[in-house]
Structure 1
Amino acid sequence: MLAQTAVLAVGLLIVVITAVVLGPRMFYYELVQAGHANEAAGLVHLEHAFRSVSLTALAIGGLPALYIAGLLTFYLYRAIGRSLVSFSTAAQEVAAGNYAVRVTSAKLGPEFDSLAGSFNEMAAKLDAVETTRRQMLADLAHEMRTPLASLKGYLEGIEDGVVEWDDRTTSILDAQIARLERLARDIRQLTAAEEGTTGLQLTPQDPEQLAVQAVAAIEPDAVGKDVSVASLSTGRGVAPVLLDRERMGQVLGNLLENALRHTPPGGSITVHTNHTPDAVTVTVTDSGEGISDKHLPHVFERFYRADAGREAHRVGSGLGLAISKSLVEAHGGTLQATSPGPGRGTSFRIHLPRRTPTD
């Protein structure tokens, strides 16, 4: 505000100097140059009157203008100052961990509105990240508690002589250790995929061939559970797709394992590969339990369980779908889940755009 007021005052001073001091002299000089030296000499005595009238006119017009400009400057200073104080206070709240804080628009134009919107969006995302972090830590502690409790119980039983150290005990301990190792590995993979540090080795691949291999890998388990699994393809592959063969095989394996886990005996699983000129879609469809509309938006969240009552019989780390989604997105594709409802099966659809090595 002081700088703006100083600019206005200096501008008014320059106008005064120009009109009162330089104005008469310039007018006198122009008369002489135009050949009216005699008339110019007769106007010298009017300089004082001219200066007096000019000063009066400038005072009447300039001082109120300066006053009004000062008021407007003060208003803008207060408005911008309040807005900046609001932003500063909100930023301090966010720095202190209060991500629920929001700022209102200062109504000072689209730039300030955009700034307020961006700040609120940032705070909302930080709030979501913090909520996810807390939930993940709680879920991680829950996931580790079961195998650790089992290990502790058996080791204490062995020390007390209540449990014999035999092949059955060894297999149980090995299974719990493997569960912890799988959990640690999956967390590492999920973190790398979400942060974009997976290091994909992209080479031209045929998704149909990867689907056939994934089906062949899970077929023995499916036969043992009396579940039929098949692969089919439609459309014409006009060009291979740039994929990381190992990572996409991991995605298909995760989706097939998830489908087999939730498909009862006598059910079926189908992997459908569809080729189009612009993209390839791979859809894993099962005839199993299905997912309700309430749980469908959350299936890709870490450790999410639609049926908490089945926790004791659940296998895996609970991160397979989250890892799969992150890996597909790292390929530039999308992974979506759909289900007609409970008891009517589920479909997971991978959409992969065709890209050339220069893309």
Structure 2
Amino acid sequence: MEKFFRNPEIKGLIFKWVLLQIILLIVGWVVFQWQLETFKKDVLRQNTAVIGQILQHEPDMENEIIGFFTKTPTEAEIQSGENITKQYGYDEKLTPKAIPYIHTLYQRANILYLSFFLLNTLALLLLVFIEFRKVFHNMKRISDQAQQAVEGNFRYLPDSGEGEYGSLVHHFNNMSNRLKETIEKLSQEKLFLKETLSDISHQIKTPLSSLLLLNDILLNREVPPEKRKEFLQNNKEQLDRMEWLILSLLKTAKMEAGSIQFNKRLRPIREPIEQSIASLQPAINQKQQTLQFHEPKREMAFLLDMEWLSEAFSNILKNCVEHTEVGGTIEILLDENPVAVTVIIQDHGKGISPKDLPHIFKRFYRAHGGKGIGIGLSLAKTIIEKHHGVIRAKSQLGEGTQFTITFFKHTD
């Protein structure tokens, strides 16, 4: 009930209706007093006429008869008068129409009652019409603004204070704001997707063009064995690059669609790290780099999916290998406390610029001057977060980059 009466429309209607009733009550009291005054004059006229008729026949009764009309009659006098008037049918059974002044009073009272009833009803209907007109006007404003919002023209409705309409305006403005943000986000994502597809197309088109060209040379020309071997090796590198790109895209899509079920088991953290090192060993050897894995003296184990966590470490290490100069060093350190297991991967390469560092884990983000399209680190971050972990990076140009991965235990 309290919630109902906090609506300004209801409070306004009730206030105006009460004010109207007070005005009608005052007017009714004034009219009633006027009717009493009129009735008094009519009764006086009638009594005066009776006195006049009696005194015409009995002048000596002037002093006596006046007292009969001004004093309160006794019961004996009333009984004596009733005995006489009943003989002429002048009693309580007499209809008002038989008494002219009473009949006139009845007619006026009925007219006034009907007039007040109609006036009160019309006034109430007018109040309801005025208030509901405001309500429908407000509803139309919201409807018009909703139509404008559908057409992409977002404007906020003015705050209407308390009440259900005020609450509706507040929620409508929130909805408009969220819809506007959603549309803007969709527009940004559409542009982002367009640029991403362009990047992916470029990433696939370049090795594909190289493959077609080298394959055409191998098919249509005489190529020395040494050159043929070089072309085939180049083809293999391009195919490996395309395979990694396509598989990473598929894994990212599956991860975002939630169609991957992690098979977590209690296993040492070193196992997925060793598996990722083994997969990247050829690239490390090719660049004559040194990888120092500082294995712990005790086993650090928690619930993990061997294959997917190995995928995450591989993508991080691949980034380190690519950005570390020939003959450089990459280090992996492990640490543990009662709450978490921490993996630190440190390279001593060229580092990441402060401008790019906050964005390196965003999907398809391409660092300034970078060659990739930002799939590996984004996928690694998603996998780590699925393992209730967090990944952070800090870097300094010319000194290298450090990735810190923290896995919180006892969360499954």
Q: Give the partner amino acid of 2:406.
A: H
CA–CA distance in structure 1, aligned partners of residues 403 and 214 of structure 2: 39
Q: What's 1:78 paired with?
A: 140
CA shift at 1:134, angstroms? 1.0
Find 1:52's aligned residue among 99, 107, 115. Answer: 115
Match of 2:312 among 239, 251, 258: 251
The 2-side partners of 1:227 and 1:169 are apart by 25
| Counterpart residue number, 1:147 | 207
Structure 2 CA distance for partners of 1:117 and 1:275, relative to 1, 3 Å: farther
Indicate whether 1:297 and 2:396 are aligned: no
Residues 62-101 of structure 1 aligned to structure 2 (within 5 Å): 62-90=124-152
SS of the aligned residue for 1:251 comes to: helix
Alpha-carbon spacing, 1:208–1:164, altered in 2? closer, same or farther (3 Å) = closer
Instruction: Tell me the alpha carbon deviations over residues 117-141 of structure 1, each in whole angstroms, 9 at most, x when there is no partner.
Output: 2212322332232123212210111
Code of the residue aligned with 1:245 in structure 2: it is M
Which residue of 1 is the match for residue 265 of structure 2? 203
Equivalent residues in 2 for 1:114-153 (5 A)?
A: 114-153=174-213
Q: Could you tell me which runs of 5 or more consecutive residues in structure 2 were left unpaired when the two chains were aligned.
A: 1-8, 18-91, 97-101, 159-165
Amino acid in the other structure paired with 1:229: L
**Are 2:376 and 1:325 aligned?**
no
1:216: how far off? 6.1
Question: Judging changes above 3 Å, is the alpha-carbon distance between structure 1 residues 158 and 228 closer, same or farther for their aligned structure 2 residues?
Answer: closer
Of the candidates 227, 231, 244, which is equivalent to residue 169 of structure 1? 231
Q: CA deviation at 1:115?
A: 0.8
What corresponds to 1:349 in structure 2?
A: 404
Q: Structure 1: any 5+ residue segments left out of the alignment?
A: 13-37, 91-101
Asked if structure 1 preserves the Cα contact closer than 8 Å seen for 2:360 and 2:374, the reply is no
Distance 1:202 1:144, change over 3 A: same
The residue number in structure 2 matching 1:335 is 391
Q: Percent of counterpart pairs with the same letter?
A: 26
Which stretch shifts more, 121-130 or 204-213? 204-213
Q: In structure 2, how many angstroms separate the alpha carbons of the residues matched to 1:272 and 1:228? A: 14
Report the residue type matching 2:174 in the other structure: S
Distance (whole Å) between structure 2 residues aligned to residue 158 and residue 130 of structure 1: 41
Say if 2:272 and 2:307, in contact at 8 Å, map to a contact too: no
Letter paired with 2:207: P
With CA pairs under 8 Å and 6+ residues apart, which has the higher RCO, 1 or 2? 1
Relative distance call for 1:106 and 1:297 in structure 2 (3 A) is same
CA distance in 2, matches of 1:331, 1:162: 54
Tell whether the 8 Å contact from 1:231 to 1:271 is kept in structure 2 after alignment.
yes
TM-score of the two chains, using structure 1 as the length reference: 0.71
- Conserved? CA contact 1:291–1:345, under 8 Å: yes
> Out of 98, 102, 106, which is 2:157 matched to?
106
Q: Secondary structure at the match of 1:229?
A: strand
Task: Summarize the Cα distance change of 1:85–1:353 in structure 2 as closer, same or farther, 3 Å threshold.
Answer: same
Structure number, greater radius of gyration = 2
**Retained in 1: the 8 A contact 2:271–2:306?**
no
Q: Is the 8 A contact 1:196 1:330 kept in 2?
A: no
Partner-residue secondary structure (3-state), 1:300: coil
Give the whole-Å Cα distance in 2 for the aligned partners of 1:103 and 1:248. 45
Shift of 1:236: 9.1
Find the residue that maps to 1:85 and give its secondary structure. helix
Query: 1:151 Cα deviation (Å)?
Result: 1.7
Cα RMSD (Å) of the superposition?
3.5
Q: Is the 8 A contact 2:342 2:404 kept in 1?
A: yes
- Give the Cα–Cα distance (whole angstroms) in 2 for the partners of residues 235 and 167 of structure 1: 46
Are the counterparts in 2 of residues 201 and 244 from structure 1 also a CA contact under 8 Å? yes
How far 1:223 moved relative to its partner?
A: 5.7
Shift of 1:240: 4.1
Structure 1 stretch 254-263 or stretch 292-301: which is displaced more? 292-301
Aligned residue pairs total 302
Q: Displacement of 1:292 after TM fit?
A: 0.7
Residue type matched to 1:351 in 2? T
Is contact 1:289–1:343 with CA below 8 Å preserved after alignment?
A: yes
Q: Which of 331, 334, 359 in structure 2 is aligned with 1:273?
A: 334
Give me the whole-angstrom Cα distance separating, in 1, the residues matched to 2:175 and 2:275.
51
Amino acid at match of 2:355: K
Counterpart-to-counterpart distance in 2, 1:139 and 1:224: 27
How many angstroms does 1:50 deviate by? 2.3
Q: Is the 8 A contact 1:154 1:163 kept in 2?
A: no
State the partner residue of 2:247. Answer: 185
Partners of 2:141 and 2:234 in 1: CA distance? 69
Q: CA deviation at 1:233?
A: 7.1
In structure 1, C-alpha distance between the alignment counterparts of 2:287 and 2:235, rounded to whole Å: 25
CA distance in 2, matches of 1:171, 1:221: 14
